[in-house]
Structure 1
Amino acid sequence: MAVQQDEYERISNPSAISSLLNTMIEGGGVSLCLDTPEARPEPIVLMEQHEGETLVMDLSSVDYLLYRLEQGERFFLRGQSQGKVLRTPLLALTETRRSGGRFLCCSEYPDSVDVLQRRESYRAELRMGMVVSATVYGAGEEGAPGELRDLSQDGCQLELPLTASGVLAESSEPMRLVLAFPDGTQFEVHAIARHQKMDPERHLLRVGFRFAGCTSEQERQIWYFVCEIEREAARYKKEAQEERQPSPLFAQPGKRVPNGEQVGRRDIRRYATPMARRVVKVAAYLDAQLLMLTQGHDVDSRQLSRNADRILQLHEEDREALLFASRCLSMEPLLVRHGIAVAVHLLDLVGENVPRDVRKAIVASGLVHDLGKALIPQVVFKAPNFEPCHRHMLSEHVSLLMARLKTCQWLSATVAQAVIGGINERLDGSGYPDGLTGSDITELAKASAVVDVVEAMRRDRPDRPARTAQQIYRHLLNHPHQFDVRWIKRYIERFKTLPIGSLVLFSSEQLGWIVRLDDAGAPFEVALTQQAEPPMRENLLGSVRGDVRERLGKPMREVAVST
């Protein structure tokens, strides 16, 4: 329920609070403000919410405030969404944890969120595809039909036929406007025409009206319409970050309203975490790129650059959330989710002290390294027995992809050759495409090979099921003639024996996905589930943070699930 207070609404409905907090999490740009007159907004990262329980944030950028916050000093969070300012009530920290030089903190969960906006100045514009019919009545009974183009608290703009100029001219008094929304809602208000502009090519008039004599109930309705138009318009924005429900005002009777927000054909609300729902944009790009490659196009340089930057940004925000998100993409094509997982894990393994342009090239190369497989005869992947001729055809995917990267001038050729060209090479010369051995294989290629095999063995294949991390580590260590033991050990040291994204059976007989680890590599946060299936929003049952061992018991074993 929303209670209006001057220029803002106080939202206290739990579902609405959760939705608004998601826009702050996924949109970024959150500030922390102490409850003192001289306090300035300080930028932080709001990482996630546990509905009704706690907010999780990274306060590394304001570590100089931690002492005051840990002593109980209260604060509020502020962010933006769709032109509105969102503000929580006063909160206090409940927990602080240092992890890898970062300060991860939990706070109370807000019981409300204030939505601030100068209502009179905000003008909600209807985007293409949104139709609200409007009729203007002057002194006579005959009205001029048109369409609503924008709406604010104090007026609106209509598109009317040129013939409406007569209706406008004959009336010196406020005219009657009737708006009709697609769901059948009608709204009547009086207004004065203030200005008009002719569009001769379209034979239209654009007329601005100022509302006159509105009652408080009409003002309330207008504000509702403004918010709903804004909400519906936001669904049309290409770069929208939030999960947006369609407005009921624009639901046509008898026409099915989609159950979820779509990115391409994806229902992003089914993805398990806010981070996974952000990674979906990268998945959508890779899926589209696959199709473009099969149609003869090159790799889209601009889009590859943009999505590599997106992965870098997400990794800088929260590496653990990104690692887990790479396990939450089971609805994506195999080549897509494999490429994302390789890019994320390779970045995390080798990118710590590497210049940003090199890290970006590593991510980009990891994302697309396997897309060339869409360009070779698919019989290779369906053959019951892998023959030498199949191996030769398979090896061609590397050169086919490299040829499609010629427009990516920003992409380091050295990095691309190491990752895309070297990821399938083996120390003993048994790899492809060039059969390189030992010292002829670069360090980045050796690291890439380890990451690639781990990710491949994490997923089902026609000739074998998915393996656990321990089984994969054992396989790698048993093949030192093919894989560099130093990089195997570095991988295990970095990601631990129960890596993030592992499904674990605890001694309490509870199943849970490892979401975060503590500094010792023990589970710190676990997403609970009852099913040995890839993590989806509908099969996660909440989470346990901090006191995992006390509540769930000892991790007994990992359960292999193809993700």
Structure 2
Amino acid sequence: MAEDGYTRIDNPMEIETLLETLSEPGGASLQFGEQGEPMPVLLAGLEAGEALELDISAVSEIAGELRGGKAFRLLGQAHGKLVRTPEMTMEHCRQDDGRLLCRCAYPHRLEVLQRRDTFRARLRLGMEVSAVLRDAEGNRAQGDLKDLSLEGCRLELPLSATNLLAEAPLPLDIALCFPDGTHFQARGRARHRRADTERQTLTAGFQFEGHGPEQERRLWYFVREIEQEAARHIEGGEATRPPSPLFQGPAGAEPKVGRRGAQGYATPMTRRLAHVAGYLDTQLLELREGGEIDGVQLSRHADRLLRLHEEDREGLLFACDALYGESWLVGHGLGVAVRLLDLVGRDSVPQELRKALVASAMVHDLGKALLPDDVWRSAMPDDGGSPELHEHVALLEARMGGCQWLSTAVFTSVVRRISERLDGSGYPAGVTGEVLGELERAAAVVDAVDTLRRPLGERPAWRVGAIYRYLLGREQAFDSRWVKRYIRRFGLYPIGTLVRFDGGQLAWVQGLDDDGRPSRVQLAGGVESSGEGLHTVLGDKALEGEVLKGEVTRRLGEPREEVRVAKVATEAADIPN
């Protein structure tokens, strides 16, 4: 048996029977190399034991490569099996009555693989394929491909796609776009769907309709490439296995479509941060399905976050608050990572330790995804939580086997001890201040502030001033030196907050002066009052007002109060075709 699961066939009669099946219209494809996409050809002539004649008129542009001796295989399906020849070369090509015919030697063996119609190739962490769903009236939704088979696919869509699936005449048009630019279109009927209100997603399974030989050939190619690319990630064999060309997009390119690519974001930096959020969201789902933290992907996205901070720290701090539509654990992981880096990860800290700090903070709470929601959604930062809550630290650590590059000291401070308290009331070990170093003391403050700034369960988000008073009043648990350092660093009105000034104007804080006072703000647009002190922010419409620099108090007066907000996602206006 070959390495990729094919079985060798040497029997001459069986070979001839299989080749005759491939000679039917639409039965054969030609492929260059292991990674090439199959191209339609016609097996026009068969001389048993002597030669094959191929009609390549449909792909005449490859004649030059064939004449030059480039090796190829023939592929096809016969009797429920996938069939391929060994690599061959053309002997000569000729024109005949408008057709381009090429002759090659007869294969004296074939390789077959039992076709698995129902096998679903699942995309793994780091593999992104965008999907666009359209109905007959032009309504559409953009999402991400999660798995693919010869019979159908599973897509993850924004929750707003519920209306499209409920109201559109079925079947729907499905377009898949791979990172290298390859497109595939089919029609499919939704068979099942499941909503996740926390993540604001809808997962839907589709069954393809209108199968033809060409569609099946392309689908099998995609299924095989997804499966092989996934094997690289599962086995950690990225350095040894050749990558699939389907997943080789432009270096450093951000996704243009997909669930996040279709959303409108307040700033370009927020859109870039959403790509890191997408990684964390997928990693969270991998954990729930029994997987581990992917050390390679964690490393890549920690580097990405460091670069964003180096490019524009204020823009990144604002993006942490402007990001919406993500689950609580994803937003919290990013918020802690960025602010802890900004608080303690200064230029004097070596790059490898800054990277370990960011990586550890990004994933520090993902173990909670393995617990029942009611266990962790009601916990306050200083109540110690239940014994069941404490388990999330060990649950995460057991899934970190592929992250040996992480500094053990940093991981201990940011993951194992971020919930420890000076008086021993924290968890999981209940250690006291004599044991806790500076990094874990700082991390505990950053974690507590970010936790309280985000609504969780039935608890609404707290205003920053109330959080500061809360922590300063609990110096037995939180190091007051680090609480005060946090306040000095991020101010009473941190970057990203919505503030009402003396003149009554609402504005977003985008920059602070050396005294922690707003020095750059943008007048608020896309904000609606609920009449109960809570304002709704409409996604990318939030930043439509004038930007004021250095003249904030002269124009607007002194800042009066922070305004509580709820964020609502909007769809981008420039959804690509």
TMscore range, shorter length: 0.5 to 0.7
Determine if contact 2:332/2:450 at 8 Å carries over to the other structure: yes
Deviation at 1:194, TM superposition (A): 7.9
How far apart, in 2, do the equivalents of 1:478 and 1:535 lie? 35
How far apart, in 1, do the equivalents of 2:319 and 2:501 lie? 22
Deviation at 1:312, TM superposition (A): 0.5
Deviation at 1:369, TM superposition (A): 0.6
How far apart, in 1, do the equivalents of 2:489 and 2:142 lie? 40
Matched, 1:468 2:471: no
Matched, 1:522 2:501: no
Gaps of 5+ in 1: 1-143, 150-157, 170-176, 180-190, 207-237
- In the other structure, the counterpart of 1:195 is 64
Given residue 201 of structure 1, which amino acid in structure 2 is its aligned partner? L
* Structure 2 CA distance for partners of 1:325 and 1:527, relative to 1, 3 Å: farther
- Alignment counterpart, residue 507 of structure 1, candidates 499, 502, 505: 502
Determine if contact 2:378/2:456 at 8 Å carries over to the other structure: no
Bigger shift: residues 493-502 or 389-398: 389-398
Matched, 1:400 2:395: yes
Given residue 437 of structure 1, which amino acid in structure 2 is its aligned partner? T
Gaps of 5+ in 2: 1-25, 32-38, 46-52, 77-83, 91-125, 144-254, 529-534, 568-577
Per-residue deviation, residues 531-561 of structure 1 (Å, max 9, x unmatched):
3235620333234131433443332211133
Per-residue deviation, residues 457-507 of structure 1 (Å, max 9, x unmatched):
101233532111111111111111111111111111111111101110123
- Alignment counterpart, residue 376 of structure 1, candidates 371, 374, 390: 371
Deviation at 1:450, TM superposition (A): 0.4
- Alignment counterpart, residue 287 of structure 1, candidates 262, 276, 281: 281
Equivalent position SS for 1:560: strand
Equivalent position SS for 2:511: strand
Determine if contact 2:293/2:402 at 8 Å carries over to the other structure: yes
How far apart, in 1, do the equivalents of 2:62 and 2:375 lie? 70
- Alignment counterpart, residue 559 of structure 1, candidates 541, 560, 563: 563
- In the other structure, the counterpart of 2:263 is 269
- Alignment counterpart, residue 486 of structure 1, candidates 468, 481, 485: 481
Alignment of 1:213-292 (within 5 A): 256-258=139-141, 265-292=259-286
* Structure 2 CA distance for partners of 1:525 and 1:290, relative to 1, 3 Å: same
Q: How many residues get paired?
A: 360
Determine if contact 2:465/2:492 at 8 Å carries over to the other structure: yes
Determine if contact 1:272/1:537 at 8 Å carries over to the other structure: yes
Deviation at 1:251, TM superposition (A): 8.7
- Alignment counterpart, residue 334 of structure 1, candidates 323, 328, 337: 328
Per-residue deviation, residues 207-253 of structure 1 (Å, max 9, x unmatched):
xxxxxxxxxxxxxxxxxxxxxxxxxxxxxxx899xxx999xxx9997
Equivalent position SS for 2:317: helix
- In the other structure, the counterpart of 1:134 is none
- In the other structure, the counterpart of 1:453 is 448
- In the other structure, the counterpart of 1:305 is 299
Determine if contact 1:460/1:562 at 8 Å carries over to the other structure: no
Given residue 359 of structure 1, which amino acid in structure 2 is its aligned partner? R
Equivalent position SS for 2:307: helix
Equivalent position SS for 1:326: helix
* Structure 2 CA distance for partners of 1:400 and 1:555, relative to 1, 3 Å: same
Determine if contact 2:507/2:523 at 8 Å carries over to the other structure: yes
Deviation at 1:311, TM superposition (A): 0.5
Matched, 1:360 2:229: no
How far apart, in 1, do the equivalents of 2:374 and 2:135 lie? 47
Alignment of 1:13-412 (within 5 A): 161=42, 195=64, 197=66, 199-202=72-75, 256-258=139-141, 265-352=259-346, 353-381=348-376, 391-412=386-407
* Structure 2 CA distance for partners of 1:268 and 1:348, relative to 1, 3 Å: farther
% of aligned pairs identical?
A: 44
Deviation at 1:269, TM superposition (A): 3.3
Deviation at 1:267, TM superposition (A): 4.5
Given residue 449 of structure 1, which amino acid in structure 2 is its aligned partner? A
Determine if contact 1:526/1:548 at 8 Å carries over to the other structure: no
* Root mean square deviation of aligned Cα: 4.1
How far apart, in 2, do the equivalents of 1:383 and 1:304 lie? 28
Determine if contact 2:320/2:335 at 8 Å carries over to the other structure: yes
How far apart, in 2, do the equivalents of 1:404 and 1:337 lie? 21
How far apart, in 1, do the equivalents of 2:379 and 2:362 lie? 28
Determine if contact 1:327/1:534 at 8 Å carries over to the other structure: no
Bigger shift: residues 434-443 or 346-355: 434-443
How far apart, in 2, do the equivalents of 1:378 and 1:536 lie? 27
Per-residue deviation, residues 39-74 of structure 1 (Å, max 9, x unmatched):
xxxxxxxxxxxxxxxxxxxxxxxxxxxxxxxxxxxx
How far apart, in 1, do the equivalents of 2:426 and 2:311 lie? 36
How far apart, in 1, do the equivalents of 2:450 and 2:379 lie? 22
- In the other structure, the counterpart of 1:538 is 541
Equivalent position SS for 2:336: helix
Determine if contact 1:375/1:400 at 8 Å carries over to the other structure: yes
Equivalent position SS for 1:512: strand
Determine if contact 1:458/1:561 at 8 Å carries over to the other structure: no
* Structure 2 CA distance for partners of 1:341 and 1:562, relative to 1, 3 Å: farther
Determine if contact 1:272/1:535 at 8 Å carries over to the other structure: no
Determine if contact 1:377/1:393 at 8 Å carries over to the other structure: no
How far apart, in 2, do the equivalents of 1:544 and 1:459 lie? 26
Per-residue deviation, residues 257-298 of structure 1 (Å, max 9, x unmatched):
446977653345322111111111111111111111122222
Equivalent position SS for 2:565: coil
Equivalent position SS for 1:471: helix
How far apart, in 2, do the equivalents of 1:289 and 1:527 lie? 36
Bigger shift: residues 446-455 or 284-293: 284-293
Deviation at 1:517, TM superposition (A): 2.2
